[in-house]
Structure 1
Amino acid sequence: MEWDVKSVDAVLMDGWMDGCRYSGLQKNMNPVHGRYILTAQELFSPAQKYQLLVYHADAIFHDKEYRNAACKYSMALQQKKVLSKTSKVRTSTGGAASNLQAQSLPSEIEVKYKIAECYTILKLDKDAIAVLDGIPSRQRTPKINMMLANLYRKAGQERSAVTSYKEVLRQCPVALDAIIGLLSLSVKGAEVASMTMDVTQNIPNLDWLSVWIKAYAFIHAGDNQRAINTICSLEKKSLLRDNVDLLVSLADVYFRAGDTKNAILKFEQAQMLDPYLIKGMDVYGYLMAREGHLEDVEVLGGRLFNISDQHAEPWVISGCHSFYSKRYSRALYLGAKAIQLNSNSVQALLLKGAALRNMGRVQEAIIHFREAMRLAPCRLDCYEGLIDCYLASNGIREAMGMANNIYKTLGANAQTLTILATVCLEDPVTQEKAKTLLDKALAQRPDYTKAVVKKAELLSREQKYEEGIALLRNALANQSDCVLHRMLGDFLVAVNDYQEAMDQYSIALSLDPNDQKSLEGMQKMEKEESPTDATVELDGDDMEGSGEDGDLEGSDSEAAQWADQEQWFGMQ
């Protein structure tokens, strides 16, 4: 039997390409692959051309040249059309090899998925949807339906997203992301649970799934307390004890419920179990920064950058450090970088929105808070950010409308009552309503810090200092919070109790060394202190003043050191 030299070359080249691909050496194919296909087309059968074009596109995709890869995958599909028109694969090499090759050709469906993946990475969502929509429904694999569902959801096509998520569950009943997707689109928990009933009954040790669905249904309905109770019951089950994902979810729900202490505790537990954990660490970093633990935030951010700088979380954490160090321009940049990496990062949107608001760019901030609300309709901090923007631009009517909407949608809990009261405090006409709302909030949760702070502000306006002192002492009996200690110091100054006021300001600064208002409170106290008291306590005041000045200088020094360490962010 005689062999055509060109055909033999084609088979050898094809074999070499296969060897590189299956050995994980895709990059080795790039220098000659594309040129060889284009300049030696006569060597290859239509099937070989299609296969080599796909391999070439895979190599380019591996190098993260996504636009180029999408182009090459499209060329491969064009070649596949030529191949489909041919009644049979050309058998220039003798037939057997060609038939074997035809059976192992890359799937056309898989190639379309890769094109959609390229478009998604390039943020060309409409093009990605168009490619996947072109695949007949019966030929869509679970991963295609999952990508399509996520794209539909992002585009606001909720009905189509629900249909695609349900199709994923029909094919893979324990696809947890699809379950969460359905619950986030307001599909009832009972309906979702019914779609998994067969698998839970037939597979042993899967009885936890129905409870898990119930917990996430509560989360997406904004019923934080019932979500906490349900997740805690799950955590006690032996199969899910010390489950990191469950702990992160529990921490997040505590955060949404305004329970900062337990949220931080659960995040720390999860982090100890998995030192490489990234998911949820942006919220943890934000809470730590808000509580004044900036050194710990710096360490956390550095550790996460060492794990991966391709996730939004480390950028958000470093942005929170900048924001609470009053470096708003840098916080804005870091928030934008996080959004670039993950446009669905709610914490990144909130960070950027807060930075824009504090820089006076209120209208731009509003856009970011609205997008955060769209992505997380049950997170109250998204609404609070938007309301703050309205109040900053004197839009009391808009703020009141938003607060009333939250109150009606999520019900009368301590958080929604406090948000509504906050807006009422801005209008002299609604001061009494604000007081009533705050009393209701504190009746539900006496330890809810935001409600205590707003009630104290109201009592300060009314000059009811003794009542304010009693309120703050009661709140501090079971917790230690910088803002509450500082406010108690302010009230004590108002009743001339300077010594205890000094103690309260000192405690506040020990909790947050960067709290400028506590420092200002000390200065105000010194001015209002009587000359006689100042003379008697001169030595003690000098010593305390010296100590506080030293702490402040140390804080400035640390801030300067932080500013110099640009490489910490992975940027020069």
Structure 2
Amino acid sequence: METLREQMTFLLEQGLFDSAELLGGFLMSATAANSDLPPSTRAENMILVADALYGKKEYKRALNVYRQALLQCRDTRAALSEMEGIPQKVRTLKINLTVAKLYRITGYDRAATSAYRECLRQCPYVLEAYIALAELGVAAKELVSFIPQGQSKSIRASAEPFEAVRWLQRLADGHCSVYSHNYRDGLEHFNYLGQRFPNNVHVLLETAKAEQAMGRIDEALHNYERARQVDQYNVSAMDEYAMLLRARANVPELNKLVHDLLNVDPTKPEPWVGAAVFWETREDKLQALAYAEKAIRADERHTTAYLVKGSLSLSLNRSEAAVMAFRKAHSLRADLRAYQGLVRAYLTIPKHKEALCIAREAMKAMPYSAPALTLVGDVYAQNPDGREKGRKFYESALRQDPGYIAAVLSLADLHSAEGRNDDAIALLQRYLKTMPEEALHVKLAQIFAASCKLRESLSHYQAALSMNPLNEPAKKGLERLEKQMKGVDPDALDDEEDNEGEDADADAEEGEFL
């Protein structure tokens, strides 16, 4: 390919534009066939072809190739400026869709919304436009108005006139429900689509993501696995799957997943997010952070990469960096994990006022949501004067969702902070009867240890580690417990720990918070 580029440059210098264009056709074919080429090289090749067309005075063709080169360079503002110069009347569907994406990337959401609407007017089956408009907050009723209502001959001849387009309405409703944090309704729509279109990868992934947001981890894992079986070369949402594999301590499968994703397409952000998650399981958080940043370089709008970077930054006691990462994730998509990350980061600085503001925003965005109510409770519970308010929010969260584990854990922490360890133990034991979760075992072990009931504490730490050998709080808690059982002060620092100084204190504080 380098020879082709050199010869084409020579032809252009000699003014042999016809020959340069012919050779450029072969250069573009070679470029398209090589998936490993960086965007900058692709752009340079396109510019050579555009120069040849310009030399032949084929200005429209040259302008089109120059625009493509700008997009490859990710100079979105320059590309947008070029695209805006095209009159509305002559814009094709492809141009309108490109303009919509560019508007969104550059932060012009209102203009992006208008452009996506125009795409649906031109073709009501541009599914990515429905999804983008749902993300931009357009109501489901408006999206449904773009769907054809039985005008075609094939639909009129059908026994069920609207059945042919009902699935499209369900798809729009499902995405609108999910992006408005109504995961239960979203899941209902995607389950309907899953029955109508078995083994559809998009539907399987959206179902899994909705289940993941609702805390149904095993169901979500099952649907991610089904999506992998249907299409082993799919990369989309596989970083979310990687995070669930880590949560279930399935390191061999996580390792295989990351290896497969990197072989499929290393230019996408998902394989590098998966690599970050894998290296976190290996307790190499600096390497994990490097991979998270590589994912961001691959796609600066990939929300999951910022969530992982924020979480890793927090674990490395880099609270300000965590705030920046979670804030970026929040600006891209204000979902629960972004809210939770921001609150955690602000509380570790500590900035209680900012944390409370974010928690209240989450509650406003997700009214009557147990996670949002718990988040507000967590902020209040940090201050002894606000513990009563915190308790009310936790109890309210459990009324909304009696099985929400985070609220149970936070309420148990509150009981313990107020010296009511017996109440905390009773609460956790009651929930363990119906929900044998590792987090409940860890919290119960911690409170038993604080109550000097060491044998009971040991039993629950072992139970947690049998469920997840990578459970970091359980491993640290067990090490501390073993010191207590040997009669050694667990708070006494070794020489190595003493050298770490403030970092060790910060780790302990963060562990307590998490």
- Indicate whether the TM-score tops 0.5: yes
Instruction: Give the TM interval when normalised to the shorter protein.
Output: 0.7 to 0.9
Q: Which amino acid aligns with 2:68?
A: E
Map of 2:221 onto structure 1: 264
In structure 2, what is the Cα distance between the partners aligned to 1:200 and 1:521?
66
2:333 pairs, out of 367, 373, 376, with 376
Q: Report the Cα distance in structure 2 between the residues aligned to 1:530 and 1:53, rounded to whole angstroms.
A: 78
Which region of structure 1 is more displaced relative to structure 2, 304-313 or 59-68? 59-68
> What is aligned with 2:28?
58
Change in 2 beyond 3 A, CA 1:271/1:353 = same
Q: Please tell me whether the aligned partners of residues 233 and 264 of structure 2 are also in contact (alpha carbons under 8 angstroms).
A: yes
C-alpha contact 1:60 1:66 (8 A) present in aligned 2: no
Partner of 2:244: 287
* Equivalent residue number for residue 79 of structure 2: 128
Structure 1 CA distance for aligned equivalents of residues 239 and 258 of structure 2: 9
Counterpart of 1:193 in structure 2 is: 144
1:231 aligns with 2:187: no
Relative to structure 2, which stretch is displaced further, 259-268 or 218-227? 259-268
Q: Is the 8 A contact 1:50 1:79 kept in 2?
A: no
Structure 2 residue aligned with 1:71, among 47, 50, 57?
47
Cα deviation per residue 1:179-209 (whole Å; 9 max; x = unaligned)? Answer: 1111111122111111122478655534311
Residues of 2 paired with 1:375 and 1:139: CA distance? 32
Report SS of the residue matched to 2:232.
coil
Shift of the alpha carbon at 1:516? Answer: 4.2
Q: d(CA) in 2 for partners of 1:291 and 1:200?
A: 49
Question: What does residue 463 of structure 1 align with?
Answer: 419
- The offset of 1:387, in angstroms, is 1.5
Distance 1:321 1:511 in 2: 19
Letter in 1 for 2:97: M
Cα separation, partners in 2 of 1:243 and 1:470, compared to 1, 3 Å: farther
| Alpha-carbon distance, 1:416 to partner | 0.5
Deviations 1:449-477 (A, max 9, x none): 21121112112212323322232233333
Tell me how far apart the structure 2 counterparts of residues 363 and 328 of structure 1 sit (CA, whole Å): 17
Distance in 2 (alpha carbons) for counterparts of 1:134 and 1:74: 18
The residue that corresponds to 1:140 in the other structure is 91
Residue type at the aligned position of 2:10: R
Q: What is the DSSP-based 3-state SS (H/G/I as helix, E as strand, rest coil) of the residue aligned with 1:197?
A: coil
Residue matched to 2:277:
320
Superposition TM-score, scaled by structure 1 size: 0.76
> 1:73, CA displacement in angstroms?
4.7
Establish whether residue 353 from structure 1 lines up as the match of residue 328 from structure 2.
no
Partner of 1:491: 447
Aligned to 2:403: 447
Moved more, 259-268 or 426-435: 259-268
1:495-518 alpha-carbon deviations (Å, 9 max, x no partner): 555444322211111122233432
- One-letter code of the match for 1:383? Y
Q: Which structure has the larger Rg over C-alpha atoms?
A: 1
Determine the structure 1 residue equivalent to 2:171: 212
Instruction: Classify 1:83/1:297 alpha carbon distance in 2 versus 1 (closer, same or farther; 3 Å).
Output: closer
Cα distance per residue 1:123-166 (max 9 Å; x no partner) = 21111112211222222222221111111011111122112112
Larger mean Cα displacement after TM superposition, 347-356 or 488-497:
488-497
Match of 1:507 among 456, 460, 463: 463
Which residue among 180, 200, 210 is the counterpart of 1:221?
A: 180
Tell me: CA distance 1:39–1:113, structure 2 relative to 1, closer, same or farther (3 Å). closer
For 1:438 and 1:31, the matched residues in 2 are separated by 68
- The change in CA–CA distance for 1:419 and 1:324 in structure 2 (over 3 A counts) is farther
In structure 1, list runs of 5 or more residues that go unmatched.
Answer: 1-25, 85-107, 532-572
Partners of 1:390 and 1:398 within 8 A in 2:
yes
Looking at structure 2, the residues matched to 525 and 29 of structure 1 have their Cα atoms a distance apart, in angstroms, of: 68
Alpha carbons of structure 1 residues 522 and 373: separation in structure 2 relative to 1, 3 Å:
closer
What letter is aligned with 1:172? Answer: C
Q: Alignment partner for residue 14 of structure 2, among 39, 58, 76? A: 39
What is the alpha-carbon distance in structure 2 between the residues aligned to residue 478 and residue 121 of structure 1?
Answer: 54
Shift of 1:386: 1.4
Contact 2:5 2:45 in 1 (8 A): no
For residue 272 of structure 1, report the CA deviation from its aligned partner: 2.7
Deviation at 1:263, TM superposition (A): 2.0
Q: Deviations over 1:384-406 (max 9, x none)?
A: 11112211111111111111111
SS in 2 for 1:406: helix
Distance in 2 separating the partners of 1:160 and 1:138: 17
Q: Is the 8 A contact 1:331 1:351 kept in 2?
A: no
Aligned-partner Cα distance in 1 for 2:409–2:443: 8
Residue in 1 that maps onto 2:127 = 176
> Structure 1 pair 137/50, CA: closer, same or farther in 2 (3 Å)?
farther
Q: Report the 3-state secondary structure (helix = DSSP H, G, I; strand = E; otherwise coil) of the residue aligned with 2:218.
A: helix
Q: Spell out the pairing of 1:87-98 with structure 2 (5 A cutoff).
A: none
1:431 lines up with 2:407 in the alignment? no
For 1:37-67, what per-residue CA distance to the aligned partner results, in whole angstroms no more than 9, with x for missing partners? 54263xx7xxx47954863773585464234
Q: 1:404 to 1:202 in 2, by over 3 A?
A: farther
Cα distance, 1:414 vs. partner? Answer: 0.4
Helix, strand or coil for the counterpart of 2:233? coil
Q: 1:496 to 1:355 in 2, by over 3 A?
A: closer
The number of equivalent residue pairs is 473
Kept after mapping to 1: 8 A contact 2:134/2:176: yes
Partner Cα separation in structure 2 for residue 350 and residue 229 of structure 1: 27
For residues 326 and 493 of structure 1, do their structure 2 counterparts lie closer, same or farther at Cα, with a shift above 3 Å needed?
A: same
Decide whether aligned partners of structure 1 residues 174 and 478 sit closer, same or farther in structure 2, where only a CA change above 3 A counts: farther
Q: Structure 1's 146 and 487: CA in aligned 2 closer, same or farther, altered over 3 A?
A: same
Q: CA deviation at 1:304?
A: 1.9
Correspondence 1:151 to 2:102: yes
Instruction: Indicate the residue corresponding to 1:566 in structure 2.
Output: none
Query: Are the equivalent residues in 1 in contact too, given 2:380–2:386 (CA < 8 A)?
Result: yes
The answer for unaligned runs of 5 or more in structure 2 is 156-163, 488-514
Distance (Å, rounded) in 2 between the aligned partners of 1:437 and 1:388: 17
3-state DSSP of counterpart to 1:514: coil
Residue 302 (structure 1) aligned to one of 240, 249, 259: 259
1:312–1:339 CA contact under 8 A, matched in 2:
yes
The verdict on how the C-alpha distance between 1:523 and 1:35 changes in structure 2, with shifts beyond 3 A counting, is closer
- Is this contact kept in 2: 1:56–1:72, CA < 8 A? no
What is the identity, as a one-letter code, of the residue corresponding to 1:72?
L
* Structure 1 pair 477–308 and aligned structure 2 pair: CA distance change class (3 A): farther
Task: Tell me which residue corresponds to 2:430.
Answer: 474
**Pairing 1:408–2:367 present:** no
- 2:96 is matched by which residue type in structure 1? N
CA positional deviation for 1:30: 4.2
| 8 Å contact kept, 1:228–1:253 | yes
**Identity of counterpart residues, as a percentage?**
26
Preserved CA contact (<8 Å) 1:400 1:420: yes
SS of residue paired to 1:241: coil
CA distance in 2, matches of 1:348, 1:337: 9
Q: Post-superposition shift, 1:251?
A: 0.9
Q: Letter of the 2:308 partner, please give it.
A: L
